[in-house]
Structure 1
């Protein structure tokens, strides 16, 4: 019995598989559309991943779903492999549509961001792409961002030899003065945490669906800054977002600091092609 049949049996669907097709699921997992006699599923599989790999994604989706603000796929099952054996995440299959309602995406995301916590960060490790994302709860957003975001990427960069002496010195200088730039106590909004163009879709009715979260609670400007890293979303998204949850007046000043985290992660995952963008931001804030 393969991993897909085994997993479907675990959730009580032992009906015959009528169709199984490989679909695009990112660079990390194998992903499949599976139609049984009972229903259709979206199933991700992987082997050799940490035990909490699929748990982090599943719990992120479930947390967003509980806000009742924006659609996410329902989660039916996830494995927590102890010995890096093959594992699966089973979700609702959502048909994609041709109409894109970016106004609804902005509006609904802003309402999701209105769900808040009393602390910053998250109480369990997650992932950014293939990289481990350590998380703790912190009373200050600056403390969380310094330690769990910039500090974690600095450590990875040192281990991967992505940090030149000048780059490392600038990183350490910026981290030491981070409280000069970032708000210590913005609203601790529920954030998707990895919101780029590939991590949302539109369903058959043209309504937005969030996928592949790496959730945390933090400054909502952090989320919006990431949407602008690779070209930005359509104007309707930003206009309707700000009708519900306006960005702070200092957003343009802090946006590069928030984009720095994602550029560091890409530098650590994909190499020096992201180095110049990292260096420009570091130079701007340290010279």
Structure 2
């Protein structure tokens, strides 16, 4: 691994002495390392079992967020596009962490990021949610995109994996038919992080919020916020602060469960039946 890291650093024109290589915990998919050279410290992710666009999708998402100027992300220095079982790396800026889950401006910064928009919904190229491939196309309405590429994509994956069948499959199909009556057809198409749980943001040593590991798309900002409420890990005043800069829709509490459903389906398809009861509870609430 040390040799591969040294070869990767050459791709960013850093041939200085490597002072330290330390494994970093916290990721389930990649091997991650803190690497310090005479030139600077780096955060490097390595994998040899990912699709060719895996690190590219993350790097492009970080670039889009950075271009908004609304919130900090790690600078990307290099990413590989592997072929087959080739080992691949993503080389980024190392950001020193500050106090965990404390940021006076996360809500404000995210609200400003969400005000960068597109004329269409979706993303136009595949991304990932965890280890699951997320197909995306541009759609003229949010309802079409959410039905086809979010709920429909998880349904297809779940049927193939055997995690969605029987009454669960029947209910999900019925709910997909009702999507247009539950979520807005044409909300503002905000730039979304797409996988914003408590582990995908941090606070820098200076106290600035930092987003990591995006799965970007353009869609209803309520979709993003619903996920922030699913597993916790955000400041207690986060939603109030956000709402002061970008008001939540009046029907947010009504749409929140169907937006959380996508992430619960993804967790069901990745981790198994431990998320099944939550999925079933939401399906029953909507379709009986």
Q: TM-score range by the shorter chain?
A: over 0.9
Provide the residue aligned with 2:95 in structure 1. 94
Secondary structure at the counterpart of residue 28 of structure 2? coil
In 1, Cα distance between equivalents of 2:25 and 2:193: 20
Q: Aligned ranges for residues 13-28 of structure 1 at < 5 Å? A: 13-28=14-29
Cα deviation digits, residues 133-192 of structure 1 (max 9, x gap):
000000000000001100000001001101131000000000011101010000000000
Q: Deviations over 1:122-141 (max 9, x none)?
A: 01100000100000000000
Shift of 1:99: 6.7
**Displacement of 1:3 after TM fit?**
1.8
Structure 2 residue 45 is the aligned partner of structure 1 residue 50: no
TM-score, reference length from structure 1: 0.98
Q: Could you say what secondary structure the match of 1:27 adopts? A: coil
Q: 2:67 matched to which residue of 1?
A: 66
* Conserved 8 A contact 2:227-2:263: yes
Partner of 1:276: 277
CA distance in 2, matches of 1:25, 1:16: 27
Aligned to 1:260: 261
Match of 1:135 in 2: 136
Match of 1:190 in 2: 191
CA contact (8 A) 2:103 2:207 kept: no
Q: TM-score, normalised by structure 2?
A: 0.97
Q: What is the 5 A alignment of 1:92-241?
A: 92-98=93-99, 101-231=102-232, 233-241=234-242
Range with bigger deviation, 99-108 or 261-270? 99-108
Deviations along 1:72-130, whole A, 9 cap, x unmatched? Answer: 00000000012220000000000011275433000000000000000000011000001
Please give the secondary structure, in 2, of the residue aligned with 1:144.
helix
Give yes or no for contact 1:110–1:244 (8 Å, CA) kept in 2.
Answer: yes
Shift of 1:24: 1.8
Q: Compute the displacement of 1:58 (Å).
A: 0.4
Query: 2:85 corresponds to which residue?
Result: 84
Alignment partners' CA distance in 2, 1:2 and 1:155 = 40
**Aligned partners of 1:270, 1:183: CA distance in 2, in Å?**
30
Aligned residues: 287
User: Partners of 2:166 and 2:100 in 1: how far apart?
Assistant: 49
Shift of 1:239: 1.2
Q: Which runs of 4+ in 1 moved over 3 A?
A: 99-103
Alpha-carbon distance in 2 for matches of 1:217, 1:199: 18
Q: Is the 8 A contact 1:3 1:87 kept in 2?
A: no
Unaligned runs of 5+ in 1: none
- How far, CA to CA, are the matches of 1:23 and 1:128 in structure 2? 21
SS in 2 for 1:277: helix
- The offset of 1:235, in angstroms, is 2.5
In structure 1, how many angstroms separate the alpha carbons of the residues matched to 2:240 and 2:102? 13
Unpaired segments ≥5 residues, structure 2: none
The answer as to whether partners of 1:124 and 1:136 remain within 8 angstroms in 2 is: yes
- CA–CA separation in structure 2 for the residues paired with 1:185 and 1:264: 24
